[in-house]
C-alpha cells in the first residue's frame, strides 16, 4: 500500500512540475513575443519617414537578421495564417531561444543608435 501511495505522489508531483514548466515556458514565450513586437514598433517610431524606414532601415535590419537569426519565421516562409505564424514563432523560440534574444537585442541597439 505504501508503494502505491508513493507512486501516486510521484505521478502527481511530476504532473504538477510539468504543468508549472509549461506555464513558465508560455510566460517566457509571451514575454519574448511582446519584446519582439515592441522593438518592431520602435523601429517605425523612429524620427524618419515611413518610406525611408521601410526602404532603408528594414532592409538593413532584415539583412542582419539573416545572420543573427537565420531561423526567424518570415511571412514568405510561413504565410499569413495566424495559427501557422504563431506555431512557427513558438517553434523558433523553443528551438532557437538565443537567436530570438540576440535579434531583439540587435533591433533594440539599432533603435538606440538611430534616435
> What is the average pLDDT across 7-30?
62
Structure confidence at residue 92 (pLDDT): 94
Percentage above 90 pLDDT, the chain: 69
Task: Using the CB atoms, write b or e for 33-71: b if 16+ within 10 Å.
Answer: bebbeebeebbeeeeeeeeebeeebeeebeeebeebbee
Indicate the range of 7-21, 49-63, 66-80 predicted with least confidence. 7-21
Distance between CA 109 and CA 42 in Å, rounded? 11
- Cell readout for 42 is 520602435
The rounded radius of gyration (Å) of the Cα atoms in the chain is: 20
Q: Sorting pLDDT into bands at 50, 70 and 90, what band is 87?
A: very high
Q: Sorting pLDDT into bands at 50, 70 and 90, what band is 9?
A: very low
Structure confidence at residue 18 (pLDDT): 53
- Cell readout for 85 is 505564424
Amino acid at each position: 500500500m505504501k508503494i502505491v501511495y508513493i507512486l501516486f505522489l510521484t505521478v502527481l508531483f511530476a504532473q504538477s512540475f510539468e504543468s508549472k514548466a509549461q506555464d513558465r515556458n508560455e510566460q517566457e514565450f509571451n514575454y519574448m513575443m511582446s519584446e519582439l513586437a515592441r522593438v518592431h514598433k520602435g523601429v517605425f517610431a523612429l524620427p524618419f519617414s515611413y518610406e525611408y524606414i521601410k526602404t532603408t532601415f528594414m532592409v538593413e535590419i532584415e539583412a542582419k537578421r539573416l545572420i543573427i537569426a537565420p531561423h526567424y519565421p518570415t511571412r514568405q516562409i510561413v504565410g499569413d495564417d495566424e495559427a501557422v505564424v504563431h506555431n512557427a514563432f513558438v517553434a523558433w523560440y523553443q528551438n532557437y531561444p538565443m537567436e530570438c534574444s540576440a535579434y531583439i537585442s540587435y533591433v533594440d541597439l539599432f533603435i538606440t543608435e538611430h534616435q
